Structure 1
């Protein structure tokens, strides 16, 4: 039976992989690293990590194998070089991807009798190893329990979402949906404001107020979607149709693309046509489901 700090192998030394290595080193775990591009491990080796010459050597050195690469294609390519027999080693994949890819990776691991967890890191690199880090995991409960202690080095909050291996990735892509569309919305709004001669600093003073409305809106929408009741007491889909049309027309008058706004209006128009105009905006979630298209 293994005693003492768990030997950890980290495959992938991008910014997040390096942050993970640092956290494991700080927690006094023996750490072996491997990266497709040589030369990234020098400072980590100075801190005590061991640089493996091959994926096979890297996997052989660890009890917990943590993979954090650019995508699942890179994960498959790297692990194709791993030993045929993994023994009792555990594989934790913290690579961002899609739920279907996570499920496929789980099947690959299962066919080789490898204990597998898929994970999603919800915090930036600087939070790794601190109380503010948050990582979601999905996969067999016994694998999660076996990996929990060494993965605790990542810090903060770890949440096991259940046995379904694609669940962590599903959360990640849905949250990325919020982030990506929000960032685009912000830069698009600055472009529109600038086209109307509004100074960025002046616009920011009022734009931050929009962000303050969102946490309560998310919670309220969740309750309404759960209950299937969409009161239009605060705002209605019909009023949103009018407001978004003004934004689209102003964008077009300045030659600014309005693709995301027109996509949103098409969903709103569909909802109004289906008789949902007097209802609240959370109803648009079901319209998207019913239509089967964006």
Structure 2
């Protein structure tokens, strides 16, 4: 593929994810420079056409767009602090996992050195890089994502969360929590149905179809949460408590661990005892929020 008019890109960090990022840039025809503390990891990418930088300074000066994906934020700073002057005027895209606070600190450091900064949250595993069906969340310098979208969109669909550099990490943390909760619920229900001989494959086919309805509920509940009002138009907490009793009974008869549904039941009962039995399930968000001071 011709790399005419393709932006030069540098990728620092060649673990499984970093190597996948560099490979996607190469596949899209971007002249790609790579650096890793262990030079041997660059070999397969160099064989595909990447340029191997011997030092971090050489890596960052090779491209206007510098993508870093390493173990953690202290590792990012250790690598880049010594070459801050060389990064001045360039754009740093940090796809390292961390906290919102770390992302904001890194953005402040970059701004202090005249470096454009985008923080990113990768919403897929390495095999999913290069597929536009997947997302990478970006937050940081206004206009930077739009300017560099032609290069970054080869990695995954770029989603702009705005100027607050901490939002990509914050969304990432929230989505991880959602993922584990959903997986936990799916595993519990799969164990329940499996106790009667239903295969995980057959049950999951129905689960996947139900996700559209769940998405509708979440969209509806999101509006209630933002408004701070929880009308029980679809089903009240009183109804949910009655329904979960059927789940617990079925699980008890089959010897299924009940800790997960019992947690939901406990939070619902607390809300009902506080006088909110007529509210929707969205009311449970108040159980997760910090107590008013």
TM class by shorter chain equals 0.7 to 0.9
Q: Which moved more, 1:7-16 or 1:208-217?
A: 208-217
In the other structure, the counterpart of 1:235 is 235
Q: Cα gap change, 1:42/1:239 in structure 2, threshold over 3 Å: closer, same or farther?
A: same
Q: Provide TM-score, normalisation by structure 2.
A: 0.84
Q: Which moved more, 1:206-215 or 1:108-117?
A: 206-215
Task: Look up the SS of the partner of 1:183 in the other structure.
Answer: helix
Count, aligned residues: 289
Matched, 1:111 2:112: yes
Q: Deviations over 1:19-71 (max 9, x none)?
A: 22122223332211122444222221011101223323322322211012243
Matched, 1:87 2:106: no
Instruction: Give the Cα separation in 2 of the matches to 1:133 and 1:86.
Output: 29
Matched, 1:175 2:167: no
Matched, 1:189 2:189: yes
Q: Cα gap change, 1:58/1:190 in structure 2, threshold over 3 Å: closer, same or farther?
A: same
Q: What is the Cα deviation at residue 84 of structure 1?
A: 4.4
In the other structure, the counterpart of 1:97 is 98
Structure 2 unmatched ranges of 5 or more? none
Q: Which moved more, 1:169-178 or 1:207-216?
A: 207-216
Contact 2:132–2:153 (CA<8 Å) still a contact in 1? no
In the other structure, the counterpart of 2:28 is 27
Contact 1:7–1:29 (CA<8 Å) still a contact in 2? yes
Structure 1 unmatched ranges of 5 or more? none
Instruction: Give the Cα separation in 2 of the matches to 1:286 and 1:147.
Output: 40
Contact 1:267–1:288 (CA<8 Å) still a contact in 2? no
Moved over 6 A (4+): 252-255
Q: Deviations over 1:208-263 (max 9, x none)?
A: 45434212112211222233332223222122233335545665676654444333
Superposition map of 1:1-294 within 5 A:
4-80=5-81, 82-154=83-155, 157-195=157-195, 198-204=198-204, 206-248=206-248, 257-289=257-289, 291=291
Instruction: Give the Cα separation in 2 of the matches to 1:7 and 1:131.
Output: 21
CA RMSD of aligned residues (A): 2.9
Instruction: Give the Cα separation in 1 of the matches to 2:118 and 2:152.
Output: 11
